[in-house]
Amino acid sequence: MEEKKQLNYFQYSFLLIKNPDEIITKDYKGFHKYGFFNMIILILAIFSNKLLEGLDYANEDPWYLRELYESITLTVSIAIPLGGIMLLMNWVATKVIDRRSLAYYSEKLGSVMFYPMIFYFITIILQLYNVSFYPLFSSLAMSFLYIGLFLVSYLFAARDNFKISALFVVGFYFISKIINLVI
């Protein structure tokens, strides 16, 4: 246990790729900083992906303002519900199961958000090289984001309660879409 807490981020990332079951367990491992870091990188990857996607289709003169605005709105519409879901998971688990800290859920959610982050990086690389099937990886990244939310809520926050876990994912989806429409 003490050895695992001394991992740097790259060792942590390789461990998530090689053996994710060692980190994504019910035990708190102390990787909450890396979890927050993964979520921040995911948000930046979503922003970069949307900005590059807009640059590919830009044919207007002031493209940068519109594409920058759309990138910011998409990023905000994902970031706010993601933070809200993490707080809601902590609240539900405190009311239903036991007391866990917010660091516990940032560790678990951040560990699972590593995989959408990787898919967004693949999407960005494919966009830079003008490979036409990059939307496949962008869709895969969003799918993994929803799967990861369900996985963390089902295993850790709601503890085997399918209805609450499904409400987390559906709530995240609708809130992110509403925020995107309002902004």
Q: How many domains does the chain have?
A: 1
pLDDT reading at 133 higher than 80: yes
Query: What is the per-residue pLDDT across 77-110, written as a single tens digit (0 to 9) for each?
Result: 999 999 999 888 888 877 776 666 788 888 999 9
Average pLDDT over the chain reads: 87
71 within a domain of the structure (yes/no): yes
110 within a domain of the structure (yes/no): yes
Q: What is the mean pLDDT of residues 19-32?
A: 86
61 within a domain of the structure (yes/no): yes
DSSP string covering 62-130 = THHHHHHHHHHHHHHHHHHHHHHHHHHHHHHHHHHT----HHHHHHHHHHHTHHHHHHHHHHHHHHHTT
DSSP code of residue 161: -
Write down the pLDDT at residue 139.
94
Write down the pLDDT at residue 24.
87
Write down the pLDDT at residue 6.
77
Most confident range (mean pLDDT) of 58-72, 91-105, 149-163 is: 149-163
Write down the pLDDT at residue 147.
95
Q: What is the mean pLDDT of residues 129-136?
A: 87
| Dist CA 112 CA 38 (whole Å) | 9
20 within a domain of the structure (yes/no): no
Q: What is the mean pLDDT of residues 150-168?
A: 89
Write down the pLDDT at residue 62.
62
50 within a domain of the structure (yes/no): yes
3 within a domain of the structure (yes/no): no
Q: What is the mean pLDDT of residues 7-27?
A: 89
Q: Which domain holds residue 66?
A: 8-13+30-182
21 within a domain of the structure (yes/no): no
Helix (H) / strand (E) element for 150: namely helix 134-152
pLDDT reading at 69 higher than 70: yes
pLDDT band at 3 (very low <50, low <70, confident <90, very high): very low
130 within a domain of the structure (yes/no): yes
Token pair in block for residue 160: 């085997």
